[in-house]
Amino acid sequence: MYIRPFKVEQWMNEWETKAVYNLGETCVDSLRIDELLKLCGEDPAEYLRKLGGVRLTYGHIEGSPELRRGIASLYGGIPSDNVIPTHGAIGANYQVIMTLVGRGDNVVCVKPTYQQHYSIPESIGAEVRPLQLKYEEKFLPNLDELNRLADKNTKLITINNPNNPTGSWIPDETTRAIVKIAERVGAYVLSDEVYRGISEGGEYMTSIVDLYDKGISVGSMSKVFSLAGLRLGWIAAKDMSVREACLARRDYDTISCGVLDDMLSALALGHKESIFERNRTIIAKNRAILDEWVEKTPCVEYVRPTAGTTALVYCRKNIASRELSIRLLKEKGVLTTPGECFDLEGCVRIGYAYDSKQLQIGLDKIAEMLGEI
Ligand SMILES: Cc1ncc(COP(=O)(O)O)c(C=O)c1O
């Protein structure tokens, strides 16, 4: 089964370790284990002693009760039986698409987004109908366009909310309108919600699962929880037949998630407010740095991100995005992600939720480079 190379992952694999100023990162500044334990009110020495007694079996095959309760607490009204832990959100997306989509189906998928959402269905032989998000529409889904694209063969409508790379966040009334269209054609809505949790106004955004019986939410510990190293994500779905079908497939490619990943994720979810408080502060500070930079830098513009950890910054210079990103790395030590990784030109993705100092210096160096082009 041929699958297209995953552009953004290949880009990061090739360049991430070579950066001096990392503006490619999409996680909110990742936590060390001792930082996590402190945020959760645990004594690190005591906790590590407790870990020493943990037997490294396969653990709870479908996730420990504490973990599933913690995940379910992120949603308005689903019991913990309705969540399935996976290997990251990447495992969750894969699981859902491979389970629900077949040859001959079509999938309507917002673009730009995480490439899994269009390249996996394409590799299965499904028809992918991109719903292009546009700068002039603030990167929000165009409902007329969606209405036109969805038909009786649409198995899945995929959104990414908040969106990577644009940092846009679909308001509830628009999500409700998307649900109406999905209902009309009988499609599931897969909402990749890995960046859900920290919005500018502080709200915990509504999940698709709380708006649609055939809504499927994918989340993970990686981004807003700052714990990508745990490699723990999940699928949350109201529809029990989706759960059963995903679990049946999961026996073939997952068995269980790691015992330590499960334990630490459950702990973090039990203290989510402390982690969110830390991360809200980082994001607010860094978003202000980005805003100020865009304001004062000639020839750059963006749709101001209102959620998530990334922004798509347009540079009005005559240079291909990949060439610009490579020059930024080689000449200035700054890692950005070229728009080309998302099939876009004229822009680079900036991940702004990492270290404030690196962000400030990195942005200044981008301005310097643009002045030289
Ligand atoms: C939109 C989106 N979905 C899924 C993932 C994968 O995340 P995880 O680390 O949970 O596997 C990413 C990672 O960048 C992402 O941006």
pLDDT, one tens digit per residue, over 229-258 is: 999 999 999 999 999 999 999 999 999 999
Beta bridge partner(s), residue 154: 106
Q: Which helix (H) or strand (E) holds 8?
A: helix 7-15
Residue 194 Cα to ligand 1 middle (Å): 6
The letter for the amino acid at 320 is A
| pLDDT above 90 for 202 | no
pTM: 0.98
Residue 335 Cα to ligand 1 middle (Å): 18
pLDDT at 1: 86
User: CB under 6 Å to ligand 1: residues?
Assistant: 26, 88-90, 114, 160, 164, 192, 194, 220, 222, 228, 233
CB 300 within 8 A of CB 315: yes
pLDDT at 199: 82
Residue 57 Cα to ligand 1 middle (Å): 27
Confidence of residue 323 (pLDDT cuts 50, 70, 90): very high
Q: Which domains does the chain have, with CATH numbers?
A: 7-33+274-372 (3.90.1150.10), 55-271 (3.40.640.10)
| Local structure of 66: helix, strand or coil | helix
Dmax (CA) for the chain in angstroms is 60
pLDDT, one tens digit per residue, over 139-191 is: 999 999 999 999 999 999 999 999 999 999 999 999 999 999 999 999 999 99
Which residue blocks in 226-320 are alpha helix, DSSP H? 240-253, 259-270, 272-296
In whole angstroms, what is the distance from residue 135 CA to residue 113 CA? 14
Residue 297 Cα to ligand 1 middle (Å): 30
- Using only the alpha carbons of the chain, give its radius of gyration: 20
Mutate to test the pocket of ligand 1, among 119, 164, 221, 224 (most ligand atoms within 8 A of CB): 164
